[in-house]
Amino acid sequence: MLERILFYGASKGRGVVASIDDSNNIGDVTVIPEGSFAKDWTEIAPLSGDRILFYSATRGGGGVAAIDDDNNIGDVTLVPNGSMANDWTQITAVSGDRILFYGKSKGRGVVASIDDGNNIGDVTVIPEGSFAKDWTEVSALHPV
């Protein structure tokens, strides 16, 4: 099975998309030039298919984009600044198109889905104090 991975460099707004095969060989490398990405993405989370959520805590906004089989970025939908909270410290895909947003400072979160049109919906708020305030990483596990 061939898996793809996105590397992002905030300081130059650049990236790389590459594939990793079952033998752990990296190939099919596509360079995404400097200035192609915003320089303030604080979290990037995969969605179903080849879609990715980009989030900026600075702006409380982001974007959803697809990366096609040739490693080209397209189908970009902007999430307007101020549409999201600006305190999410971790974002992880739960399953399918569901995303968990975690805010360390208040121990709170949100679970939401992103539909095929890249719209955020089905929002469930997890109130302040529901989570510990010291999680430094949050990661979804594969279903059993």
Q: What is the pLDDT of residues 30-48, one digit of tens each?
A: 999 999 999 999 999 988 8
pLDDT at 99: 93
pTM of the model: 0.89
Place 143 in a pLDDT band, splitting at 50, 70 and 90: low
Q: Does residue 117 carry a pLDDT above 90? A: no
Burial class (CB in 10 A: 0-12, 13-18, 19+), 92: middle
Give the 3-state secondary structure of the chain.
CCEEEEEEECCCCEEEEEEECCCCCEEEEEEECCCCCCCCCCEEEECCCCEEEEEECCCCEEEEEEECCCCCEEEEEEECCCCCCCCCCEEEEEECCEEEEEECCCCEEEEEEECCCCCEEEEEEECCCCCCCCCCCCCCCCCC
What is the tens place of the pLDDT at every residue in 65-109?
Answer: 998 888 888 899 999 999 999 999 999 988 878 999 999 999 999
